A and B are shown apart, each in its own frame.
Chain A
Amino acid sequence: MDSVLTNKNPIIYPKRTRRSRTDQSSTDEFSSTNRIRDIKDPEHPELSLEDLNVLTEESVEVDDHKSYVIITFTPTLPHCHLPTHIGLCILVKLVQSLPARFKVDVRVAPGSHDKETTVNKQLGDKERVTAALENPELVALLNKMMQVC
């Protein structure tokens, strides 16, 4: 990571109060969001993706019967250089947390980033993702992002 921050002073959004839900028991938006809302921003380790509105509950789409999850995240700036990292982290965390039957799709929100198509292609390519995870430095960064607050 560069020593110069791309977004030095990001806007922080209020967190939505966490509902505790115990009655329902299907895999849904609620539980998937809970999995990934705490992932930390690579530039600002003290803030979570939810704080920065990179992820909201609305950006998660889950279909339990058809077994797919689609995440649409919004980078804080159109020229942010880290959306691949964020996307990869979301992907890894979800794959680890969900049963194997789920297909996880992570995308950048349309129009929110300069290199939208490139990033989407990169995240959709299973082989490139696997290759990226061979990189020990990247894995270390991902683990840091996933640490529980």
Chain B
Amino acid sequence: MMVEPNQLVQHLETFVDTNRSSSQQDDSLKAIASSLENDSLSITQLVREMEMYLTTTDNLVRARGILLLAEILDCLKAKPLNDTIVHTLVGFFSEKLADWRAMCGALVGCLALLKRKDVAGVVTDIDVQAMAKSMIQNVQVQALALHERKLAFELLECLLQQHSEAILTMGDLLVYAMCEAIDGEKDPQCLMIVFHLVELLAPLFPSPSGPLASDASDLFEVIGCYFPLHFTHTKDDEANIRREDLSRGLLLAISSTPFFEPYAIPLLLEKLSSSLPVAKVDSLKCLKDCALKYGVDRMKKHYGALWSALKDTFYSSTGTHLSFAIESLTSPGFEMNEIHRDAVSLLQRLVKQDISFLGFVVDDTRINTVFDTIYRYPQYKEMPDPSKLEVLVISQILSVSAKASVQSCNIIFEAIFFRLMNTLGIVEKTSTGDVVQNGNSTVSTRLYHGGLHLCIELLAASKDLILGFEECSPTSGCANSWCSMVKSFSVPLIQVFTSAVRRSNDDSVVDVYLGVKGLLTMGMFRGGSSPVSRTEFENILVTLTSIITAKSGKTVVWELALKALVCIGSFIDRYHESDKAMSYMSIVVDNLVSLACSSHCGLPYQMILEATSEVCSTGPKYVEKMVQGLEEAFCSSLSDFYVNGNFESIDNCSQLLKCLTNKLLPRVAEIDGLEQLLVHFAISMWKQIEFCGVFSCDFNGREFVEAAMTTMRQVVGIALVDSQNSIIQKAYSVVSSCTLPAMESIPLTFVALEGLQRDLSSRDELILSLFASVIIAASPSASIPDAKSLIHLLLVTLLKGYIPAAQALGSMVNKLGSGSGGTNTSRDCSLEEACAIIFHADFASGKKISSNGSAKIIVGSETTMSKICLGYCGSLDLQTRAITGLAWIGKGLLMRGNERVNEIALVLVECLKSNNCSGHALHPSAMKHAADAFSIIMSDSEVCLNRKFHAVIRPLYKQRCFSTIVPILESLIMNSQTSLSRTMLHVALAHVISNVPVTVILDNTKKLQPLILEGLSVLSLDSVEKETLFSLLLVLSGTLTDTKGQQSASDNAHIIIECLIKLTSYPHLMVVRETSIQCLVALLELPHRRIYPFRREVLQAIEKSLDDPKRKVREEAIRCRQAWASITSGSNIF
């Protein structure tokens, strides 16, 4: 579509007219640009049309006109243009740079032209030069406003970045112009570009006789004044520039060219000596960069000053506190702040770059005096602070320098290692000047903490050096002199460390710590180049292991040694040291595992297990060894218990299982093959239990049964389906070989059940619990043999009061028939059949009960379970067990979304009625159980029916249950006649409400809030229900803080406040009081007219809470009181 000429004029007018809104101007700009883009208008036409705007003497109009043309060009960066047009335009805009009134447009135009794409016709070098010249001559950057200044800098940046060859010829002029432009810039956004400009300018003139070399002092003067960068602006403006960005930019600018060296280094050194931490950090960072960029030759003359500044920095940034805690075994042991870290990396950089810098370090007098200090104060704590500082700093400096390169390591070891050994008493100078090694007598001499620390730091540095070294090139490190030096002293060094570890006087913590740390360091030299031979390495392991196995109890030494062993173990695993792994296995792992098996070593079994599991978890092979060992230990302990009646063994067993569950099971994903090992363990548990058929004593290891169940559940939970099947098979064979199957034949008659009160032997109980655990954790695809009789068995045992049986039954109905692939449990039993067994199992004596004439039609369906629940048969115990069992079964059904759960819910509700179909109210305890059954159904269980144990979970199952149950409970509450039944219904409702997701509640607040409030007041009467009350109160507070809930709260304000006020003095639970006060504060969000009338009431109630016995409640009360008092203007405080 061709733009009509008059339409074009209109657009032009709109843009030029400053009275129009900016959106209108934008629209007209876009319109013109798009018509140019689709070639309905050519540039020439446009320029001709605009002639008047571009040349008029009206400054405003001309500025707008030029800006328009520039903006249009900016939009057309990718559109091909004729070379002559580009040339003409460049000429035009370059010329206009002299027109300060139209500066903005000219700058935008130049920038747009420079940024043109290759294919679309670019600016030639001659044009660029012309433009640059005009720019330099005409534009006084610092005289411009912020926006134009930024544009000018962007233009310069663009010139340097994209057309560097073209402007190279300008030389001196360019550098001079740059200095002028930059000088005195203050805006952060511009500064970011400025720093980049300097960085770009530097590489253009590398010649030492070039323009930059001669003007370097001027240029540095301009940028050097920003250092160290002070920028406290934290507000996020649109540019969002942070101090770190600016300081990084400045740093790059300073280090951009070696010509800055004579000016930069003195400045940086001066700032390094300032007391401002930021200046120190910046200087250190900058010096590091400069050292790299300026090169060795230029840096060399500053070495003296650098070294003394660096040394001072180390002294001032190091604390005197050396930690001897277990955590610092693998770290330097003192706090490192940012200054310190940067100083370390600068020192390392300097030494790595030029070995001659090390001369300053080694020749320093303080390094020579440190040995006297060490000798003077053998004990660390006796040292005065300056000496401590000296030892720490010198150790740090030496170790950092040694870590820099092999060469530096050699030099440092040559310089001080002999003296160090001498100080430690390992070598002695004979009268002839020869150095000889001291014999074993050293072991008894004094220990010098400072010396040991220095020695450990040095060894650690050389160790780290090998680690880093061999990662890139596997050359032998032993060719180096330091290595042979360490090698020749390794035996006495290990002796010294060992003797330190063995110290056992009162304050030997430091000795022991340094000893263990030394041994650890010696044990972590890597590979074939290690200066520590294999026998010495084994000595180290033997020493550490002997500490673990010594009968000394849990001491600091023990923990340190264990940590050291774990470190060595993971080091071996990480670097695949096969030789060392063998030594480790035979000395450490075998020893500990055999200790765990024997269980008669004097050490508490708990500690052996801890040590074994920590050490063994460092490598997969050790884990295998450990699981096998534990298996053996378990079997022997269990049989020891059965045969000899040793109670200690059964305790050991449960500790062992707990260790397995807590330490190994969480790591099953990390360690390959652990799953198989654990399955094997589970199967041998079953074998062992089968084997221990005879009891010699009474069994009361409740703890053991719990531990065994947990382990069994978890193992089955993580196992693959095939492994699960084999465990189930084994378990089933054990179950069927014991006396349990006899239970199956027990008819479900009341008489028979009554007679069976406690005839399950403890062994059967154990087997049953374990079997239930297996069933609970089995996945839906695992196959359970002979399911029908198992269901029968579980049903009978559940009625005898075994909760695990109920949970297993719940899991079974949850998973039956839903496994994938059809090859599953349901081969011989479908869900329907299972339900039929559970619900319709016929009572032989059922007729007898109903024959007394009172039998009526039961709501729901007439099933055996429901009859028991409703108390058709006498025993209260049986009734409560049946109710709980039914709850677990109901949970299983609910989670898979089966309809039968409604039947169960109806039975449970029936139990809560004051006059149910059995014609009389239930016993209070049975009612309580029925109410709590809803908690079982709705809440998440840790023990069974969760994701970990492969439960079938339909989405939104809680919501579904909520929507069916709540209306029923609601209507029953309305009609309930006795207060007991009413309370129990409220308890049930509270369980349902507090377990459902909050969003559901929020959707129904209008209906629920009155119910919740009534529930709160009913439940507050009895202290037994305090936990339920609290969870219900939390639901209420949830509704009060949401906008949806607030609407209905506003309607119920008076009841809510009344209820909350009552709860502020609830005596049984502190959190209830606290939460109710918080709710009162939340109520202030309601409209003023609704809450104002209650002000006096609330304030009076809160007054009492101010004197509450609990601090937390008082503090909440103060907050609440202030909030409520402030809703009126006057404040009558008395």
Contact = CB atoms under 8 A, between A and B. Distances in A.
Interface stretch (B417-425, B782-790, B838-846, B1106-1114): B1106-1114
Interface string B1094-1134: 00000000011011011110110010011001100111111
Interface string A98-119: 1111000000000000000000
A98 B1106 contact: yes
B1106 A97 contact: yes
A21 B1115 CA distance: 12
A139 B1129 CA distance: 9
Interface stretch (A7-15, A23-31, A74-82): A23-31
B1064 to A, nearest CB: 14
A18 B1112 CA distance: 16
Interface string B319-360: 000000000000000000000000000000000000000000
A96 B1103 contact: no
A81 B715 CA distance: 76
A136 to B, nearest CB: 7
Interface residues of B, number: 21
A65 interface: no
Interface string A111-139: 00000000000000010001001101001
B1133 A96 contact: yes
A92 interface: yes
A128 to B, nearest CB: 12
Given A130-B1134, A133-B1131, A134-B1130, A96 B1122 contact: yes
Contact of B1110 (A21, A25, A96, A133): A25
A101 B1110 contact: no
A18 B356 CA distance: 52
A101 B1133 CA distance: 14
B1132 A133 contact: yes
Contacts of A100: 1103, 1106
A101 B1107 contact: yes
Interface string A42-60: 0000000000000000000
Interface centre among B1109, B1114, B1132 (most CB of A within 10 A): B1114
Contacts of A134: 1130
Contact of A133 (B1103, B1106, B1122, B1133): B1133
B1118 A95 contact: no
B1103 to A, nearest CB: 6
A31 B1115 CA distance: 9
A35 interface: yes
A17 interface: no
A98 B1115 CA distance: 10
Nearest to A146: B1122
A134 B1126 CA distance: 14
B1111 A31 contact: yes
B480 to A, nearest CB: 51
Contact of A99 (B1106, B1130, B1133): B1106
B1111 A22 contact: yes
Contact of A96 (B1104, B1118, B1130): B1118
B1114 A27 contact: yes
B1106 A92 contact: no
B1101 to A, nearest CB: 13
A139 B1131 contact: yes
B1132 to A, nearest CB: 7
Contacts of B1118: 35, 96-97
A12 to B, nearest CB: 19
Contact of B1107 (A22, A99, A133, A139): A99
Nearest to A21: B1111
B747 to A, nearest CB: 59
A75 to B, nearest CB: 23
Given A24-B1111, A27-B1114, A101-B1107, A96 B1134 contact: no
A31 B1106 CA distance: 12
Interface string B746-758: 0000000000000
Contact of B1133 (A22, A27, A92): A92
Nearest to A101: B1107
A70 to B, nearest CB: 18
A126 B1133 contact: no
Nearest to A92: B1133
Interface in B549-596: none
A6 B243 CA distance: 37
B340 to A, nearest CB: 25
B266 to A, nearest CB: 36
Contacts of A133: 1130-1133
B608 to A, nearest CB: 36
B117 to A, nearest CB: 54
B1067 to A, nearest CB: 15
A136 B1106 contact: no
A97 B1126 CA distance: 13
A104 to B, nearest CB: 10
A119 B311 CA distance: 58
A7 B1133 CA distance: 31
Interface centre among B1111, B1118, B1122 (most CB of A within 10 A): B1111
A103 to B, nearest CB: 12
Nearest to A23: B1111
Nearest to B1132: A133
A22 B1111 CA distance: 7
A130 B1126 CA distance: 17
B103 to A, nearest CB: 43
A100 B1102 CA distance: 11
B527 to A, nearest CB: 50
Interface string B450-476: 000000000000000000000000000
B1106 A25 contact: no
B1125 A96 contact: yes
Contacts of B1106: 97-100
Interface in B881-912: none
Nearest to B1106: A99
A134 B1132 CA distance: 8
B1133 A25 contact: no
Contact of B1134 (A21, A31, A126): A126
Interface centre among B1112, B1118, B1121, B1130 (most CB of A within 10 A): B1118
Contacts of A35: 1118
A136 B1129 contact: yes
Contact of A25 (B1104, B1111, B1134): B1111
B1096 to A, nearest CB: 15
A27 B1114 CA distance: 9
Contacts of A31: 1111, 1114-1115
Contacts of B1107: 27, 99, 101
A119 B411 CA distance: 76
A91 B1133 CA distance: 10
Interface centre among B1109, B1112, B1125, B1134 (most CB of A within 10 A): B1134
Contacts of B1130: 133-134, 139
Contact of B1103 (A21, A92, A99): A99
Contacts of A101: 1107
Interface string B615-635: 000000000000000000000
A110 B352 CA distance: 67
Contacts of B1131: 92, 133, 139
List the 8 closest pairs (A to B, CB-CB), nearest first. Answer: A99-B1107, A99-B1106, A97-B1118, A95-B1133, A25-B1111, A25-B1110, A25-B1109, A92-B1133
19 contacts: A21-B1111, A22-B1111, A22-B1112, A25-B1111, A31-B1115, A35-B1118, A96-B1118, A96-B1122, A96-B1133, A97-B1118, A98-B1106, A100-B1103, A100-B1106, A126-B1134, A130-B1134, A133-B1131, A133-B1132, A139-B1130, A143-B1126
Given A100-B1106, A133-B1130, A133-B1133, 11 more contacts: A25-B1110, A31-B1115, A92-B1133, A95-B1134, A96-B1125, A97-B1121, A99-B1103, A99-B1104, A126-B1134, A130-B1132, A133-B1131
Interface of B: 1103-1104, 1106-1107, 1109-1112, 1114-1115, 1118, 1121-1122, 1125-1126, 1129-1134
